[in-house]
Structure 1
């Protein structure tokens, strides 16, 4: 197809906006259809705003298109985890090497910035309050409803890019085609957002450049900084059982639970009970499916193809990586959508499956292990191994977060090999000083030395 092909991106969220920018840079005219109203309208500033962690894979996708500096204006670097115990005592774990950070960004703030950039492109048209009702896969005919008026209309683009999220209507239509595989699984946990407001003169009341975690075994709360001095706290909590969302039914119960379980945070949350009952409870879903494309005419990207839970901070980053991978394939196979889509899905599917599994695993780590002295000791030992064998050992978190050239599937395989090494090694280690034991050094030399 020529560059005058009609391309439609269904979904004007983070991935849809970035994808439209990539396609426009390649010379295509792009129509973006979004079910929601324009997020940049002041009266719509609220709503779902769970903070996201932007890391190297996402940054590379933004840098490739020349917009990283624009996005850094709405991001805060976080250099380490800060763990809060029941007494309010703190412990620390750096995310990577000196100077490495993940970045806290507001979903809405980032989406608004990307919408501004997309709107500034003459070959991108944004269409808001347009809800997909049906996709006729055989013809690419899409039936849309104008949310404001209820009127229906149809479009028939040459190529459809489905960036319409975990509950994608485009994917729903593909699920009716032959040999389309689909699975979804929910955690028995939901999430609820709460706020720590600024202190005097707008100051952050916790360490600004850190991700804060209150690990409590079967549940946890995290907090990420915002540019206005607030922290967005997210409670990850069972739906049922004791304790759970179901069990906390009154303001008194909520206040008492937080004062007992998250005492240092509760002291900084004057609107706790009001927010707890007013803010929605979200669910946590993993989606895996295949194929992601249909006859070179339809392609699923981002959460529509591979929704994951947020505990590795990679959902957005994986979606942004989709865009940069697609862009390179567009350059290799200009106009050959069938080859582009086939190569894309075969390359990306093993990696998105890997990060989906890692995200669930990291929930267990963050919830249960980061407060465990043995776990913290193991992390210190891993840092020593990295320093001694930099060419042979990189912690799994760094492979995923700070190594954008390493596919997720390779990071997972390397991590499993390293887990086996650490399992044997930690049998000989009770303190940091034990790292120097001859038996420990001999084991490392045998497995990592060259």
Structure 2
């Protein structure tokens, strides 16, 4: 007689794909056309595809190591056990830095886009104050509970998806081939500006903290999780390509210089698109989409930072404990947003610098250490040692590019 199985059914792959795609796609995509304007469309496309390939495989390397531990084992557990406390400290600091700098970036972005939105309605409202009030609203939601964040995120994400397809369907209909191919410039140079795009590409494919979550969700099912990572990252890549088509096919290359000089914030890009397209309905869709994109990214990043800090400092889940966590989560980036309201592009770039550690360098080291100890019996990323070397070079190379650009050692499109 066969015993009845009491195990729960395996969750649908769609849920995992949406977790990965939803984590990747956010307000950071607004930085891509601005920082990629020097390299322009085809070179930028090559940078995106290369980054997608490396970031997919670094995520698979985390999965390879994670499969040797029980479901629920986190990034912190893997790093501490396989690489030691030193690497675990470096990894933890890089995660905290990325989450803090992204929180600041979204306060900057929210202030600028709310300022632009109210300006469209004839209301003058300072960007600094708009960012501060938006941050306080998000802080209140995060303080309430994770469930409140989850419900608000679901509403915002649904609205973002709807406005995304409406906006980009309209944008693609206005694409000018001459603008996209940059036919107006004589002997343009693109390749010298390619390296500058890489840290921003890396920051736009961050999902690696979700890999342990997926193993907790699906159990030790590498085939399912691999498909989630593959399709989730491919969806993000496809949407980024559509976004570049829609922006670079409508805004001339030289116009991006002025956008970058104004700080490259979301409101400047939306204003430039509105001026070129001269369509009131499309302008409205762009404004609505950008608000929802910032809101969804803001909620996701701040919840991650909130939970990380609560665990780090040992604050409990009582209202007082959550208030303490909320204060150390939101106060530093809110002060940054008040002092430097136009730092969106810089913040995304620095996030890319720190993310090289936990999204490229550490995963490669985890895979190497895991193979030495366990032999990777459940799943092994293809490519052997050369693939590990490629991901390491990719991570270190991204960090060097950002450092060189900080010291003005790389050419700037101007």
TM-score, length basis structure 2? 0.28
The structure that is strand-richer by fraction is 1
The one of the two structures with greater contact order (alpha-carbon pairs below 8 A, sep at least 6) is 2
Tell which structure's C-alpha radius of gyration is larger: 1
TM-score, length basis structure 1? 0.27
